[in-house]
Structure 1
Amino acid sequence: MEDVKAYEKILATFEKSHPKIDVEFKPFQATEYNTILATGLSGSAGPDVAQLRAYGGLQPLVEAGRLVPLDGRVEALSGFDAKLLEGAKGHKDGRIYGVPFAYQTLQVLYDKRLFGDNGIQPPATWDDMIAAAGRLKAAGITPFAVAAGPDATWTLPIVHEIFGNARYGSARFRDALLSGAKKFTDPDFTASITLLKDLEPCFPKDVVAVKIPDVQALFATGKAAMYPTGSFDLAPVLAANPSLEVGAFQVPPSTPGRPTRPRRSNWSGGWRRRSSGGSTRASSSSCPRSPGSRRRTRCWPRWRRTTPPTARRTHCSSTSGTASRTATRSSGTRCRRC
């Protein structure tokens, strides 16, 4: 709920310039949002405009006919790069159901002071990163701030993407998977999961019980040196410790010859108008060794987490008679929100 005040300010400005439109703003927790929204859109009590998860998260509502296609309805869509609109399209009909509002990256954030105090430089190779993690752990510092508690399991694909995308083949694997040429049992993909399991000793103790606010606090207070996450997490971390000096690096590939590049988060969201129709290995206790008329508009944004990201920006568009209403909203390597 961290963006409530920002939205109140944004919507007050919007309503001032659109006096015939009254926006009723109602936020929800991320863990509750999907169910609440699906229920709301199936009846008459749901929102006119809502923020949704993109890609696969969008499809059930599209297929149920709960959303209005925006092709030809929102002129600004013509100014977006086609790649940015992929997450807002229906898989079957290829039509656009949302307007992108942010483009963010996934990487490892690091505490510059802890790195300096322990003689560590941002890693240029996988071996460098593992060696740095081992040195930090020996100094009593948690190397990587990772949460895997019940409320944080959705972040694990993000962590996997940050550490494993170069190992499994990134976009090449995705394209091969979609074409049927490869499966999730492909050796490179399973190796990327093993890679993550091998890093578990570098994560907080009892990681499966750790919550997102816990890891944000670990990093903000200097108890963890690295935080694999999206740029959306900078806001809550810096709000907790404004003096924290934060750097960032892309994880070097674990396999020589496989390039690593900034990742775009696959977590997406955006404002969409509703339709009028209703092999893991046992981990050791130490970090792994390196391998080689006035109308009331109901507006529902979704919230990624309880102590979440930076403000997300969104675009809300619908029409009431001759008056169109627009609202903006704020939001991580595959993180395009649409």
Structure 2
Amino acid sequence: MKRLGLPLSLLLLASLAGAQKTTLTIESWRNDDLKVWRDSIIPAFEKQYPNIHVVFSPTAPTEYNAVVDAKLKAGTAGDLITCRPFDKSLELYQARRLVSLNSLPGLKNFDAIAKAAWSTDDGKTTFCVPMASVIHGFLYNKALFKELGLSVPTTETAFLNTLAKIKQSGKYAPLVMGTKDQWESATMGYQNIGPTLWEGEKGRKGLIAGTAQYNKGGFLQAFNSLAKWKDYLPQGYQALAYPDAQNLFAQGRGVIYPAGSWDIGTFRQMNPNLDLGAFPPYSINGKKCVIDDHPDIAMGINAASKNQAAARTFLNWVASDAFASLYANALPGFFPLANVKYTVKDPVAQEFLKWRSQCGKSFRSSYQILSRNANPNNENDLWNVSSQVLNGSLTPKAAADLVQKNLASWYAPQKGK
């Protein structure tokens, strides 16, 4: 009996030791990030918290929403749910699939703008910890700037003069963007230079409240400023798709590229020898720059998870400087939203990050509340009219009137405006 007792007690001890280790599973659409999570982020967390094992389980981006919905309904979803910004995640919270994180200590590291994409409309409850945003601005080819004797423009007048000089040289496309896919015209055009004119959060919140309109003030002025780009786009730009524009710039055939910071990693891969520089949205009419610091990704807790405490431990770590530094350097151009200190090694990503302290901050005007209607849809309308303004088929005023009319047709605070 004694000889049997020893191995049995060892088995019991081993069983108890095993029971202390919790496994957390993360659902995500970022299947391109699998290596980063597996090789960098998870080992760093597990070193600090050896009793928690983390599994990163991504789904293809186009299938993610449907797959996670099905898993949540079936009770088979992971403990941690990677959250898309705005309405999709809000729907999950309202359906009680995600829990409130208001009592999570790490949430104090985020300001209201950072939390807005994963909070209730009144801003009182946050249900996902913000992980990263992307920042809008301009990339440029430093070697071509040097060749043509150009300096970085800080005002609209200087920007247009720079484009005119490039065009006059006859060697390169001044401004590399096409209008075929439409979304770039709004995202890297209108929403890039516009926040400076509509004063960022003041204008964006004004649209939601019904005190600002697309066909007045800064929102109309932004269409006027966008129209000035038309003469400097590449030859045949109306047929140029997003990948075509990326190729043209990567090959050194164009000088300035209206960008999102997500393009940094793309160009590093496409042409490692490309001498990249970046500058923020330029000042217009003497107004201080405001950047689109657009929320991209966050993480919440599955309300049905049996590992709530471990999940909260992980999310507190996601809100820390350790995570911020890891994430920012593994994915240059995706910037943690926490107000913590971290260093970014990529020099172009460093440049984008500097703008947070130099400029005001907001995010794309159509993303919160205003695009909840299927047809007409505010975001799709901005794609459509911004590309038409650049194509010369709509005047800035006609574009602004159309967007405003469609928004007022269904959104109560804008009716009759």
TM normalised by structure 1 equals: 0.70
The answer as to whether partners of 2:133 and 2:334 remain within 8 angstroms in 1 is no
The equivalent of 2:404 in structure 1 is none
The equivalent of 1:23 in structure 2 is 55
1:1-338 equivalent positions in 2, closer than 5 A: 1-9=31-39, 10-14=41-45, 18=50, 21-29=53-61, 31-72=62-103, 74-92=104-122, 94-102=124-132, 105-138=135-168, 139-146=170-177, 148-150=179-181, 153=183, 156-205=186-235, 207=237, 210-254=240-284, 256-257=285-286, 259-276=287-304, 310=332, 312=334, 334=362
Identify if the C-alpha distance between structure 1 residues 202 and 46 changes in structure 2 by more than 3 Å, giving closer, same or farther: farther
- 2:83 is aligned with what amino acid? L
Deviation at 1:59, TM superposition (A): 2.5
Deviation at 1:244, TM superposition (A): 2.3
The answer as to whether partners of 2:133 and 2:295 remain within 8 angstroms in 1 is no
For 1:125 and 1:266, how far apart are their aligned partners in 2? Answer: 22
Structure 1 residues without counterparts, runs of 5 or longer: 278-292, 298-308, 316-330
Deviations 1:99-125 (A, max 9, x none): 122355321111111111112111132
Deviation at 1:210, TM superposition (A): 4.1
Identify if the C-alpha distance between structure 1 residues 158 and 96 changes in structure 2 by more than 3 Å, giving closer, same or farther: farther
For 2:95 and 2:212, how far apart are their aligned partners in 1? Answer: 30
The equivalent of 1:281 in structure 2 is none
The equivalent of 2:412 in structure 1 is none
The equivalent of 1:283 in structure 2 is none
Higher relative helix content = 2
For 2:291 and 2:180, how far apart are their aligned partners in 1? Answer: 24
The equivalent of 2:411 in structure 1 is none
- 3-state DSSP of counterpart to 1:77: helix
For 1:182 and 1:120, how far apart are their aligned partners in 2? Answer: 38
The answer as to whether partners of 1:50 and 1:272 remain within 8 angstroms in 2 is yes
Deviations 1:172-208 (A, max 9, x none): 2123223221222325313312432442443345556
Identify if the C-alpha distance between structure 1 residues 43 and 182 changes in structure 2 by more than 3 Å, giving closer, same or farther: farther
The answer as to whether partners of 2:139 and 2:277 remain within 8 angstroms in 1 is yes
Identify if the C-alpha distance between structure 1 residues 50 and 221 changes in structure 2 by more than 3 Å, giving closer, same or farther: farther
Deviation at 1:22, TM superposition (A): 4.8
Identify if the C-alpha distance between structure 1 residues 24 and 177 changes in structure 2 by more than 3 Å, giving closer, same or farther: closer
- 3-state DSSP of counterpart to 2:225: helix
The alignment's C-alpha RMSD in Å is: 3.6
For 1:62 and 1:208, how far apart are their aligned partners in 2? Answer: 41
The answer as to whether partners of 2:140 and 2:257 remain within 8 angstroms in 1 is yes
Deviation at 1:267, TM superposition (A): 3.3
For 2:89 and 2:173, how far apart are their aligned partners in 1? Answer: 36
- 3-state DSSP of counterpart to 1:268: strand
Identify if the C-alpha distance between structure 1 residues 34 and 216 changes in structure 2 by more than 3 Å, giving closer, same or farther: farther
User: How many residue pairs were aligned?
Assistant: 288
The answer as to whether partners of 1:271 and 1:314 remain within 8 angstroms in 2 is no
The equivalent of 1:290 in structure 2 is none
Identify if the C-alpha distance between structure 1 residues 128 and 239 changes in structure 2 by more than 3 Å, giving closer, same or farther: same
The answer as to whether partners of 1:148 and 1:156 remain within 8 angstroms in 2 is no
- 1:135 is aligned with what amino acid? K
The answer as to whether partners of 1:58 and 1:90 remain within 8 angstroms in 2 is no
- 1:87 is aligned with what amino acid? A
Identify if the C-alpha distance between structure 1 residues 205 and 132 changes in structure 2 by more than 3 Å, giving closer, same or farther: same
Deviation at 1:76, TM superposition (A): 1.4
In terms of mean alpha carbon deviation, does 62-71 or 113-122 score higher?
A: 62-71
For 2:184 and 2:69, how far apart are their aligned partners in 1? Answer: 19
- 3-state DSSP of counterpart to 1:247: strand
The answer as to whether partners of 1:111 and 1:247 remain within 8 angstroms in 2 is yes
Identify if the C-alpha distance between structure 1 residues 272 and 154 changes in structure 2 by more than 3 Å, giving closer, same or farther: farther
Identify if the C-alpha distance between structure 1 residues 193 and 136 changes in structure 2 by more than 3 Å, giving closer, same or farther: same
Identify if the C-alpha distance between structure 1 residues 44 and 172 changes in structure 2 by more than 3 Å, giving closer, same or farther: same
- 1:164 is aligned with what amino acid? G
The answer as to whether partners of 1:54 and 1:267 remain within 8 angstroms in 2 is yes
- 3-state DSSP of counterpart to 1:159: helix
Identify if the C-alpha distance between structure 1 residues 37 and 209 changes in structure 2 by more than 3 Å, giving closer, same or farther: farther
Deviations 1:57-113 (A, max 9, x none): 5333333333211122x3211333344323321114721111122355321111111
- 3-state DSSP of counterpart to 1:97: coil
